[in-house]
Structure 1
Amino acid sequence: MPLPPRVSDLTSFDLLLSVAELGSIGRAAAAHRMSQPAASARLRHLEHELGVHLLKREARGARLTTAGELVAGWVQPVLDRAADLEAGIAALRVDRHTHLRIAASLTVAEYLLPRWLIALRAADPDTVTALSCGNSTEVAAQVLAGEAEIGFIEGPQVPAGVQSREVSRDELVVVAAPSHEWARRRRVRPTELATTPLVSREPGSGTRQAWEQAVREQLDTDLAAPVLEVSSTTAIKAAAMGGIGPAVLSVRAVAAELAAGTLVRLAVPGLDLTRRLRAIWPAGHDVRGPARDLLAIALRNPG
């Protein structure tokens, strides 16, 4: 969907945050490599677009008004996600003749890897990365074929032929549209969930593997066949919001929808849906160079 005009200029919001940090429009302009008049004009235009005063201009600098402080707090996570987007796109854009080839499952690639890549770039600006995404089975195949030095998977099992290290944990949650009958009671029995056709990822997906193994191990029951199989988290969310059926997804993936109320989280008493996210590399080999640096960053920043 098109961005609302008032929030489409992220550079001006970034400039506002720099004024808050540095204490003056002049210093913020220098940090953004623009003239002070140009920076002042941008900020005045932003105030005009938003219809509120963001800055209190003083003889020795500038500081944020109360409204400016609120806007700065709201926009900071947006700018963080924009930086994640830039890091992810840069990794996808480069060719295969690079310093570090990475394969990652979709959950890791979307919600964790961009921040790790930003940290890697800060530590070693000369490291160029190439990212390939797929489900956990596909990621393991790329690592075993030598097409990636390191991979990140979300499945419950460590594939044969690789070594692994847990880098984070993730919680799977059951969600449904607000109109679904389960949404009114906000909970579902584990056996009822297991026997209900869900909207699901394709076979080989780490999310699907983790969910299916948890049910088999903890409930010792067969699962109903999916009502719909799709190959992306976005498609699952759209199908669930459209009322096709409930779904099991990473809590990271549905945070915005839960906050907006377009999906409802359902409690499943007695069923543990915590899963491990792992880095993998070929068995018998050490993780070296930029891959080792990326692994260290992931371990320090599990998200």
Structure 2
Amino acid sequence: MVLSPRVPDLAALDVLVSVARSGSMSAAGREHGLSQQAVSARVRAAERDIGVRVFDRGTSGVAPTPEGVAVLEWAGGVLEAADRFATGVQSLLREKNAHLTVAASMTVAEHLVPGWMVSMRAQHPDVHTRMRLMNSADVVDHVRDGRAELGFVEGPDEPPGLSAVVVGRDELVVVTGPDHAWAGRSITPAELRSTPLVQREPGSGTRTTYELRVRPTVPPILELNSVTAIKSAVLSANAPTVLSSLAVAGELRAGSLVRIAVDDLTIVRELRLIWNPTTPPRGPARDFLEIATARP
């Protein structure tokens, strides 16, 4: 639909209705923060666009012409529709901005994101933050296609095509059960490289980082997509694994798992917050980013 040139813009219609309601150009000017001359100019321009004289001017003020009565009634209907449109759009924006979806890989999801979500709730109680837990490769996919506004990954490199900021660092450690042959001694990188481990599934940040740093020569003995399942399998299969130091801190303190030192090898990785640069963080996403990147 192409609008007729006889239709003034909404601001001009608003001024016309204000003049009719107040009975004078000066009063309408005060309502809109305009001078009397500016209001008069807008009224003349609107009358020119419409093609009829809307007001009769007199020494005591202005009054609608017979044609102007009809124009003002129509103008009121247009302004009411515009107000409903603005209210509806604002409602949509509030609904959209009241929700935030965060995708996070295992370690960050289990040990860091919950604290950030508590801070987000305290600072912005009207925002509902939802976390989706998955491996790093899936986090990247969710952020790329817009299923998540923000993502947290554990891989060794910044995902190409996405913006990223480091939110922390984490060390990967070799652990076994206390009865394993490695318990109580250190091992060489060659021993680690040639030993089948209980591992995370392909695509996880832990698995990717380990394989890039160690270059194992044998496949995993088991592949599991749950850290809890991996820790259980380490004990039942009496096999080593490589996990985040955050994920095994409790078991190491309790002695149910033991850390195995590897000669001349430390695996430290960066934990990153990522987003799609075509839709940079705004509103709740920006608030969550600031919480996650704040330093104590």
Q: TM-score, with normalisation over the residues of structure 2?
A: 0.65
From 289, 292, 300, give the equivalent of 2:283: 289
Confirm or deny: 8 A CA contact 2:180 2:238 kept in the other structure: no
From 240, 252, 256, give the equivalent of 2:234: 240
Q: 1:223, 1:300 → 2: CA distance? A: 40
Q: How does 1:187-198 map to 2 (within 5 A)?
A: 187-198=186-197
Q: 2:184, 2:261 → 1: CA distance? A: 12
Cross-structure match for 2:265: 271
Secondary structure at 2:284 match in 1: helix
Cross-structure match for 1:254: 248
Q: Structure 2 counterpart of 1:172, which letter? A: L
Q: Structure 2 counterpart of 1:153, which letter? A: V
Cross-structure match for 1:116: 116
1:286 CA displacement = 2.0
Q: Which runs of 5+ in 1 are unaligned?
A: 1-95, 217-221
Secondary structure at 1:226 match in 2: coil
Q: 2:203, 2:211 → 1: CA distance? A: 11
Over 6 Å off, 4+ runs? none
Q: 2:217, 2:161 → 1: CA distance? A: 29
Confirm or deny: 8 A CA contact 1:156 1:206 kept in the other structure: yes
Question: In percent, how many aligned pairs have the same letter?
Answer: 51
1:244 CA displacement = 3.5
Q: Structure 2 counterpart of 1:294, which letter? A: F
Confirm or deny: 8 A CA contact 1:173 1:250 kept in the other structure: yes
Larger Rg, first or second structure (1 or 2):
2
Q: 2:168, 2:113 → 1: CA distance? A: 11
Q: Structure 1 counterpart of 2:293, which letter? A: L
RMSD, aligned CA = 1.6
Cross-structure match for 1:130: 130
Confirm or deny: 8 A CA contact 1:120 1:294 kept in the other structure: yes
Secondary structure at 2:163 match in 1: strand
Q: Deviations over 1:28-61 (max 9, x none)?
A: xxxxxxxxxxxxxxxxxxxxxxxxxxxxxxxxxx
Q: TM-score, with normalisation over the residues of structure 1?
A: 0.64
Q: How does 1:94-173 map to 2 (within 5 A)?
A: 99-173=99-173
Relative to structure 1, is the Cα distance of residues 289 and 113 closer, same or farther in structure 2, using a 3 angstrom cutoff?
same
Secondary structure at 1:170 match in 2: strand
Q: Deviations over 1:119-144 (max 9, x none)?
A: 11111111111111100000110111
Q: Which runs of 5+ in 2 are unaligned?
A: 1-95
Q: 1:240, 1:164 → 2: CA distance? A: 34
Alignment pair present for 1:178 and 2:178 = yes
Confirm or deny: 8 A CA contact 1:166 1:276 kept in the other structure: yes
Alignment pair present for 1:229 and 2:223 = yes
Q: 1:227, 1:116 → 2: CA distance? A: 35
Q: 1:162, 1:271 → 2: CA distance? A: 30
Q: Structure 1 counterpart of 2:148, which letter? A: A
Cross-structure match for 2:294: 300
Secondary structure at 2:184 match in 1: helix
Q: How does 1:41-52 map to 2 (within 5 A)?
A: none
